Amino acid sequence: MDTTLQDPLVGQVLDGRYRVDARIAVGGMATVYRALDTRLDRVLALKVMHPTLAADGSFVERFIREAKSVARLAHPNVVQVFDQGTDGSYVYLAMEYVAGCTLRDVLRERGALQPRAALDILEPVLAALGAAHRAGFVHRDMKPENVLIGDDGRVKVADFGLVRSVDTVTSTTGAVLGTVSYLAPEQIEQGTADPRVDVYACGVVLHEMLTGGKPHSGDSPAQVLYKHIHEDVPPPSALVPGLPYELDELVAAAAARTADARPQDAVALLALVRAAREALSDAQLDALPPQALTADHDNAEDRTSVIPRSLTSPVLGFAGAGGPSSRPLPVGGEEPADGVQRTSRLQAPPVPARRPRRLMPAVVVAVLLVFGLGAGVWYINSGQFTKVPPLLSKTEAQARARLKAAGLEAGRVKREYNDTVGRGTVIGSDPAPGARIRDHDSVTLTISLGPEMVNVPDVAGRPLAQARARLKADGLEPGMVTRQFSEDVPKGSVIGTTPPAGTRRHADSAIALTVSKGRPVDVPDVTGEDLDSARQDLADAGLKVKIAAQQVNSEYDKGEVAQQSPGDGSRAAEGDTVTLTLSKGPEMVEVPDVVGDSVDDAHKALEGAGFEVDEDRGLLGLFGDTVKKQSPAAHDKAPKGSTVTISIR
């Protein structure tokens, strides 16, 4: 029986905007979905905090801090955050969707990588972290799961959910946040983090890329934490003979147990990586690794966790493979001035011989009941169940091969158009990747047909409304409308489209329309005419008339046309409207007194009042410069713009 439950968010629309299409990954604090921003019509990744954590104010604050922090990091190797919000009990981030896989997927499938490939991945990771460090932030959770490798080869760093200001001292007494396999010793012992904890994690990741396995492993998270504090990361060449010493030195520098021995930040480590690459020959960079050293990657050590400080404190003991013992460890430390005891170093614990344990009969019964043995739903052979492997962004052939390797069958194949995923690539499966199903069950694959292509229909000669309806019916969107005159196409009907009819375009593409303004008409000049004459002249030209509500002063008599729009010389379509503004008559202005003024002063005064000036000098005034007379007389009212004559003697 398939016990896989349908994710309740898939198919829902968050915040009235984000349609959740598929679950991509599940982490310790949040689930990531592929979603569609219905407002901007773009595919994105939606990171939704687990509802149980959304009630915790500190986690919500950290979630919001991630959005604000990453928004400040404009870097090509950082996954961009577009939006942050809440919808009921769901707190989410809307982020850039990177079609591809994670570095964890690559390591799980290939094991150890060639040195060149490892450095090609590490360099953009360090560039992204370097931008964060120089901007004042620490990632604090670097691991292969947070390194995204796009189908186009781009490498991006994701999940800044534990990002913290470099200037913030992160000393916690209750818990340490992070992923066990990549925590720096100072994170474990003091709970503090600066850029060098990211450098340490990158050293561990580089070791894992070069060897195919993690440097520290154990039967419990506590044992792994203990090794981080007390054991150096081994040189990669100890596990993969033949690796050059430059790579050993690079791992040793980045993953030094003492923070002061590491490069100060990712920028400094990037310089070391580039120097190491320069020192290696092409043969060394391209050397094929031996049989991959693989580890079980599907365990809790790969997840971001809230790690109880009880697992990192000095009262831990170990009983070998049997797990933690009850004996406290000796603690080395000093009593500081503030009276607070702090751990400086843990001593190695004794490892007693493992003893078999017996389950009490009552305990056995309880365990069987928990697993449903009495109800007949627990199968003795747990191997009858498996997980659906990652299939997204794989070709159909690759997906079938992965299913076969996992002991599953490729069932029905559905094909759908998709604007963002190339033709022949998996865009979904049922059950989804990671789902637990029975061996040999079938998995339905959804394969992309690529962007849907349609022919642009011929809508020439159709009225605009009909043309728009036809475009929508054919899966296209009516776009910008441009209007132009046409002797042949009636006004309001479509002349043509851009692109032209018959062109193939993606579904939902916008198609521009050119619409006829009708036969062009030369607009006659009717200014200065009385209203009846102006109406008749415009009607004879095939135009309509509208009278403006406001009248204006003008040189024309009251009631005559003072202005028109469009004006003389313009072209309009037949049936267009010409707006006429009627005159209130000329504006009457008081004439200044300029008798006795010089000619220049008289000009300034009269022209300043809005009049034209005419000089009458006669024979006696040829050489004069004084105004002896003016007409109209001073203080009379005269139309603004009319002429005042001054006599000069």
- Here the CATH number for the domain that contains residue 607 is 3.30.10.20
CA distance 198 to 134: 13
Kindly state whether residues 593 and 501 are assigned to the same domain: no
Higher pLDDT, 298 or 335: 298
Residue pair 215/206 in contact (Cβ under 8 Å)? The answer is: no
Kindly state whether residues 417 and 503 are assigned to the same domain: no
Beta-bridged to residue 385, according to DSSP, are 438
The pLDDT value given to residue 59: 73
CA distance 540 to 284: 90
The pLDDT value given to residue 330: 28
- Which of 469, 486, 516 delimits the end of a domain? 516
For residue 497, pLDDT beyond 90 = yes
For residue 176, pLDDT beyond 50 = no
For residue 381, pLDDT beyond 80 = no
CA distance 10 to 433: 14
For residue 378, pLDDT beyond 80 = no
For residue 136, pLDDT beyond 90 = no
For residue 349, pLDDT beyond 50 = no
For residue 365, pLDDT beyond 90 = no
Kindly state whether residues 26 and 155 are assigned to the same domain: no
Of 387-391, 476-480, 506-510, 593-597, the least confident = 506-510
Kindly state whether residues 62 and 123 are assigned to the same domain: no
Kindly state whether residues 182 and 220 are assigned to the same domain: yes
Average pLDDT, the chain: 80
Kindly state whether residues 532 and 414 are assigned to the same domain: no
For residue 144, pLDDT beyond 90 = yes
Of 315-319, 441-445, 605-609, the least confident = 315-319
The pLDDT value given to residue 177: 52
Kindly state whether residues 572 and 504 are assigned to the same domain: no
The pLDDT value given to residue 116: 95
What's this model's pTM, rounded to 2 decimal places? 0.47
Average pLDDT rounded to a whole number, residues 566-583: 89
Of 24-38, 124-138, 224-238, 359-373, the least confident = 359-373
The pLDDT value given to residue 340: 28
- Which of 462, 485, 516 delimits the end of a domain? 516
Of 173-177, 335-339, 493-497, the least confident = 335-339
Average pLDDT rounded to a whole number, residues 188-200: 89
For residue 208, pLDDT beyond 90 = yes
Name, in order, each residue with C-beta under 8 angstroms of 208's C-beta and a sequence gap of 6 or more: 107, 144, 214, 215
For residue 84, pLDDT beyond 80 = yes
The pLDDT confidence band at residue 302, using thresholds 50, 70 and 90, is low
Start-to-end Cα distance in the chain: 121
Of 244-258, 325-339, 467-481, the least confident = 325-339
The pLDDT value given to residue 149: 93
The pLDDT value given to residue 281: 93
The pLDDT value given to residue 448: 87
Q: Is 601 a catalytic residue?
A: no
The pLDDT confidence band at residue 546, using thresholds 50, 70 and 90, is very high
**427 found inside a domain:** yes
Of 62-71, 159-168, 185-194, 405-414, the least confident = 159-168
Q: Which two tokens stand for residue 90?
A: 């769901």
CA distance 307 to 301: 11
The pLDDT value given to residue 594: 93
Q: Count of domains in the chain? A: 6
**497 found inside a domain:** yes
The pLDDT confidence band at residue 331, using thresholds 50, 70 and 90, is very low
Residue pair 144/157 in contact (Cβ under 8 Å)? The answer is: no
Of 207-216, 374-383, 494-503, the least confident = 374-383
Average pLDDT rounded to a whole number, residues 129-140: 88
For residue 307, pLDDT beyond 60 = no
Q: Write the CATH number for 194.
A: 1.10.510.10
Kindly state whether residues 569 and 545 are assigned to the same domain: yes
For residue 2, pLDDT beyond 50 = no
The pLDDT confidence band at residue 152, using thresholds 50, 70 and 90, is confident
- Which of 582, 598, 621 delimits the end of a domain? 582
**360 found inside a domain:** no
**375 found inside a domain:** no
**7 found inside a domain:** no
Of 1-10, 294-303, 404-413, 477-486, the least confident = 294-303
Instruction: Please report, for residues 167, 183, 273, 545, the alpha-carbon distance to residue 266 in angstroms, rounded to integers and kept in the order given.
Output: 16, 16, 10, 74
**160 found inside a domain:** yes
Kindly state whether residues 312 and 179 are assigned to the same domain: yes
DSSP for 159-199? --TT-EETTS----SSEEEE-GGG--HHHHHT----HHHHH
**339 found inside a domain:** no
Average pLDDT rounded to a whole number, residues 484-507: 91
CA distance 430 to 408: 12
Q: State the residue range of the domain holding 90.
A: 13-96
Residue pair 43/34 in contact (Cβ under 8 Å)? The answer is: yes
Q: Which two tokens stand for residue 637?
A: 């009212």
The pLDDT confidence band at residue 384, using thresholds 50, 70 and 90, is low
Kindly state whether residues 563 and 620 are assigned to the same domain: no
Helices (H), 4-56: 51-54
The pLDDT value given to residue 295: 44
For residue 168, pLDDT beyond 60 = no
DSSP state of 356: -
Residue pLDDT, tens place only, 229-265: 989 999 999 889 889 999 999 999 999 999 999 999 9
For residue 319, pLDDT beyond 60 = no
**8 found inside a domain:** no
Average pLDDT rounded to a whole number, residues 141-158: 91
Kindly state whether residues 125 and 81 are assigned to the same domain: no
Q: E strand or H helix at 464, and its extent? A: helix 464-473
Burial state string for 404-432 with b = 16 or more CB within 10 A and e = fewer than 16: eebebebeeeeeebbeebeeebbbbbbbb
Kindly state whether residues 128 and 223 are assigned to the same domain: yes
The pLDDT value given to residue 571: 86
Candidates 105, 141, 198, 597; catalytic one: 141
Average pLDDT rounded to a whole number, residues 38-54: 87
